[in-house]
A and B are shown apart, each in its own frame.
Chain A
Amino acid sequence: MVHLKHLAERLPLGGGGPGLGGSRSERELGGVGLVPARAVQSGLEKMPAPAATYERIVYKNPSEHHYMKICLEFQEHGVGLNVTQFKQLLISALKDLFGEVDAALPLDILTYEEETLSAILRICSSGFVRLWSSLTLLGSYKGKKCAFRVIQVSPFLLALSGNSRELVLD
């Protein structure tokens, strides 16, 4: 017989406004392990039967990274950049506005499409505002006028896999 323990951790629903006053919050300490340990797990072996306890954790501002879906637009047509030039452009935008230290912010280009010059970026959360402001103020690349369009931002990468504002009905 399986005993079902029910540990309810109810939080004040919708209370406190944006600050979420009074609820439990925890800083998530996620991150990639430094040593890539490979664990082989076969699904045929069922997980050891647990006590099926209910557990609920609420994390406030857990994401260490923010994600941005951006697109680079040029005034003239026919300008192309490969992914390395694109990254270099982002770094130089950060450097122009904030200097050498912020140009070294951990910034990753997760996906890049050369045809549309669009990319999904990952930036550490503390550098999010600085990156966005650098993108806003970048006006040209090699003398050609251009602008970054920020299409979507989110602290959750899963949210960037779909954009309901792009739902087009004929």
Chain B
Amino acid sequence: MWYTGIHVVSAKWGSVMSAPAMGTTKTAHSDVAPKKKRGPGALATAYLVIYNVVMTAGWLVIAVGLVRAYLVRGSYHGLYFSIEKPLKFFQTGALLEILHCAVGIVPSSVVLTGFQVLSRVFLTWAVTHSVREVQSEDSVLLFVSAWTITEIIRYSFYTFSLLNHLPYLIKWARYTFFLVLYPMGVTGELLTIYAALPYVQKTGLYSVTLPNKYNFSFDYYTFLILTMVSYIPLFPQLYFHMMRQRKKVLAHVEEYKTE
């Protein structure tokens, strides 16, 4: 059988083959069809809009609660107690987002989302809630404020995106505020974990020692230290990822600014 032509295309994965060009040839037909994104159905969209609206409202409640408490008390200290319950409720509620990814109505990675939500939930419950002594620390206010502003912007971003009416301001805020809020939040989180360490060591909180009939041990104190250390490789990666996203998203400034 005679072949009129055989192409070996180095598609997007292979490195560019460098060798002298050769005569006139047909241009490669791109067999790589764009991946068809099947968005969530109408019911899923309605649900997600409600979810994101509720979450936006929830974090606004926390924001307002913080401001009011500050005005009433006249100081920044100990504001955690005034928003403890809504913080726990809405931050824990974010666990649903893992489900959204798993079911497929949100096109994000289950692993990535899971990791982000669980780390927040861990800080809320396994550190701040569990170690009473840190609740009056200022570092708690630092990460709570960072989370609050971030979440208000993030959930309104999703709400508007789902409704296909995303104001440029929200998009800009989402991809700009993190530049300050992310380091601020991380600082607050690390300082809080650090403040919890002595109490954990003293009380042996969440720790299991040998001997026991299941031949297992766990030292929560060491675990917290390892958690703090893990921020070193993780934080820069996430931060620079967001910066790259920012460049990509805000690059089309001219097209969207008229919205």
Verify that A and B bind, or say they do not.
no
Contact surface of A with B, Cβ cutoff 8 Å:
none
Contact surface of B with A, Cβ cutoff 8 Å:
none
